[in-house]
Amino acid sequence: MPTGPSLETIRAAHERIRPHIHRTPVFTSRSLDELAGANLFFKCENLQKTGSFKIRGATNAVFSLNDEEARRGVVTHSSGNHAAALAHAARARGIPAWIVMPANSPMAKRKAVERYGGQITLCEPTLAARETAARDLIERTGAVMIHPYNDERVIAGQATAAVELLDQAPDLDFVLAPVSGGGLLSGTAIAAKCLRPQIRVVGCEPANADDAFRSLQAGRILPPEKTDTMADGLRATLCELTFAILRERVDEIALVSEEGIVEAMRSLWERLKLVVEASGAVPAAPAFERRIGAHSAAGRMAGSGQAEGKRVGIILSGGNLDLANLPFK
């Protein structure tokens, strides 16, 4: 039996979260199609409530709790969008959310957590410090941990973006999503392959934080060698759950340079007039650079063929960033 939530579970998640999320629009652009040599369909999760897809998984997790669990509240550690999403979801259910954030999180993301009523605990920017702070909170409050991706309820929620995309843009040949901890890509891969088995699923990752690429090549989870990417949402690593799902369902990991991220952001801002954060622009880069399929020969990932003339769905995962610190020169 395949790993992760089933399509039935994903459909139930969609019904559960529908009152609390936007069905985000799908944008197209003739000039970006010319750039890519393909027909691109941009799923605008930057226009989602809280500014990212993360509200889908967080809301499904929060509304899946029974009343007794929910009463004690929820806790998580996150550098950003999952934090705001969990705060929003908790407020929607009327329960408290405790959020552990590294002290170097972007100010825009901290403000968002506060706006939705989340209670922030700042910590050192290391995984160990985050986990310790979260454990302390759980001991003190009895709150339930909602991990940003190591959670089938979260993955089922994230999968609903692809369910909508395939409905809004039928007959896609490819679907591209960013990969970090693997929650969005896992959900995307399960939903897309269930609904359209012939679709090619491409995870997109900064070359400067390429642990998913290397892990899938090696056949085991490798620790990150580096995470010095401007895509601050893509510095996490796979867990056993997401690793197993990606091994089964993902056809290719495309690596993206830092320059490629800036160029993709610029093209999206200039042509679509959309504010997309660096992490959210990552899956657009391989399409704009006509490199889908280019990584397939390098290792274990099966060749997915070129995307020329094909229909390509791209999940623009978020739009939260500090306007005072933009990469355009």
In the complex, which residues of this chain contact a second copy (CB under 8 A)?
Answer: 25, 31, 46-47, 51, 108, 115, 266, 269-270, 272-276, 319, 323-324, 326, 328-329
Instruction: State which residue, 30 or 223, has the beta carbon closest to a second copy.
Output: 30
Nearest approach, Cβ of residue 1 and a second copy (Å): 39
Of 297 and 328, which CB lies nearer to a second copy in the complex structure?
328
Provide the minimum distance between the beta carbon of 155 and a second copy in the complex, in angstroms, as a whole number.
25
* Residue positions counted in the chain: 329
Which residue, 195 or 326, is less far from a second copy as judged by CB? 326
Complex with a second copy: residue 202 or 230, whichever CB lies closer: 230
Return the ∠ at Cα 93 (arms to 147 and 87), rounded to 5°. Answer: 45
Closest separation in Å from C-beta 113 to a second copy: 14
Give the whole-angstrom CA distance, residue 306 versus residue 174.
10
- Smaller CB distance to a second copy: residue 167 or 322? 322
CB crowding 17-54: b at 16 or more within 10 Å, else e: beebbeebebbebeebeebbebbbbbbbbbbbbbbbbb
Hey, CA dihedral for 306, 278, 187, 312, is it positive or negative? negative
Q: How far is the CB of 24 from a second copy (least distance, A)?
A: 10
Shortest CB 54 distance to a second copy, Å: 15
Q: Which residue in this structure is represented by tokens 């893509």?
A: 234
Q: How far is the CB of 269 from a second copy (least distance, A)?
A: 5
In the bound state with a second copy, the residue whose beta carbon lies nearer, of 125 and 327, is 327
How many Å apart are CA 77 and CA 100, to the nearest integer? 4
Per DSSP, the residues of 96-137 read -EEEEEETTS-HHHHHHHHHTT-EEEEE-SSHHHHHHHHHHH
